[in-house]
Chain A
């Protein structure tokens, strides 16, 4: 089956006063129907810019997509005109952001914001839209949905606003839901509620999901496949079990080693990754992880490894085999 979404060699730059920010550096991945892809990586690794670029939502200028293709059901979204991409956004591919306050309009009622989506994308009448809005709010677990339609965003808690965002994203039955750290700002018990909700809706509606986070715990329970980003590159990608049980990129190994585990009683020293991520204004010539990598060999400083398959469905960008410590 051809993938639902096929991102090929995506490259995004920001042309700023300080210089060119190499935000996304040739990212390729695929998403299949009904699949959940987790994307993990630290702050600034290019997760949001990659997703925003897919929907052509990065601010231009200073941003520019300098290379690549984004094939959605075979059509390159980067080549569509503005009207066509707008039709896809929100209806076929929907996005939920970390901070719902930035995407909700503070002066419109919750009800109005949802019905507006329904009226413009689905041509519903105001009455139909209102009815559907109530259904949607119920579906995402908002009590007294009918009364709460006339509330404003500030009258909702953080968790409830995120539910509203999910309701709006799902309003048009999208084929892909892109969720950019939607639970990062929430408490764990509320996060558990939201993830539980998303899993239930995913199974009911059969949509594909891209879930962005820096929490390796969250994707472990949610994703089928996980991609790890570092400095604007995907450095490792594998089915979820494989990635956690057989990580092969030194950065992934480092991330997993730096996490304490709630389910382990023994206390071991956390393996920290020394140093800091590179400056995206001046990416090094070789592997971007080399300055922090305990496995680095001479070649790493000269040549940047490409993402290659090392086992079925398991790709890494690294010159070294971490199981032996020798070149691959």
Chain B
């Protein structure tokens, strides 16, 4: 919530390409998936930056590359002033303690053969922070913190519902008292009535521990609700970034405009009045992204220049960034 807080994370020109290989014995690279293709942004201490965009546009790759779970192809990630891309081994491990991730799929992300207690205690033991009785006490405290009964520590993940498993994932992420958490679609797999429980919990924890979030989602209404600022991605690029109110009330990029207009609003009276911008076609492949502005084949207002020249990332008005030749 702190608008003027210090910068905790600065991402500079981040690029992540995944090689596409052929052959089994003599593998050769025949191309690259341009998953993230040069993104720059900052996250201030204590704030939530929302990251939205359609499936495959590179949101998770941004999150993972920030945490160095993927090493970037190019670019820099400064966390508290330190460039993570230059760190290795124990130095990186020490920094990683301060950064955690919560995944979309609460089913796949918890080891089914470990008890909930072991799952939550694992990071404490790996980093040599607590073990035995002390770890156990910490686990119970964490379970209480995320709204679960401490006696659950001896049960296995399959005994829990999706929402409860997500709470377990959050408890584990909090174990090392991080500063920064990448929330990668933490509620997408949950039912509507449970989503609100988890979002409320994340907000309470943020206030209590002064956490900084990168909140990845494709539910634009939820992102508006939880974020202080929002970044919109399309095909490996961030195309627009602004304050939560500014972005939704005054979107400048044609893709953001189309995306917002496509989101259904749960009110029939509002729906009856709304005009949708129906985009033609589908998102092109990130293997050979279109020339110039990547959005030009689908953009309803594209000009000749858009095919040739990539639009600059510009601050069109204070704190409102956009990459479009025509935005002003």
Contact = CB atoms under 8 A, between A and B. Distances in A.
A250 to B, nearest CB: 12
Contacts of B199: 270
Contacts of A260: 221-222, 224-226
Given A259-B221, A262-B260, 19 more contacts: A157-B282, A187-B218, A188-B54, A188-B218, A189-B259, A190-B282, A192-B261, A192-B262, A193-B279, A217-B271, A220-B265, A220-B268, A221-B265, A258-B192, A259-B192, A260-B225, A270-B196, A273-B193, A276-B163
B159 interface: no
Interface in A236-292: 240-241, 244-245, 254-263, 265, 267, 269-274, 276-277
A8 interface: no
B119 interface: no
Contacts of B224: 260, 262
A214 interface: yes
A196 interface: yes
B263 interface: yes
29 contacts: A42-B193, A160-B282, A189-B54, A189-B262, A190-B54, A192-B278, A193-B279, A214-B191, A214-B192, A215-B264, A216-B192, A217-B221, A217-B265, A220-B265, A220-B267, A221-B265, A244-B266, A258-B196, A259-B221, A259-B266, A260-B222, A260-B224, A262-B220, A262-B263, A265-B245, A270-B196, A271-B196, A274-B197, A277-B191
B75 to A, nearest CB: 26
Interface in B267-298: 267-272, 274, 276, 278-279, 282-283
Contacts, number: 126
A188 B220 CA distance: 9
Given A261-B265, A274-B197, A189 B163 contact: no
Contacts of A244: 266-269
B110 to A, nearest CB: 18
A188 to B, nearest CB: 4
Interface residues of B, number: 45
Contacts of B263: 188, 217, 262
Given A244-B268, A270-B199, A262 B262 contact: no
A187 B262 CA distance: 10
A131 interface: no
Interface string B157-201: 000010100000000000000000000000000011111110110
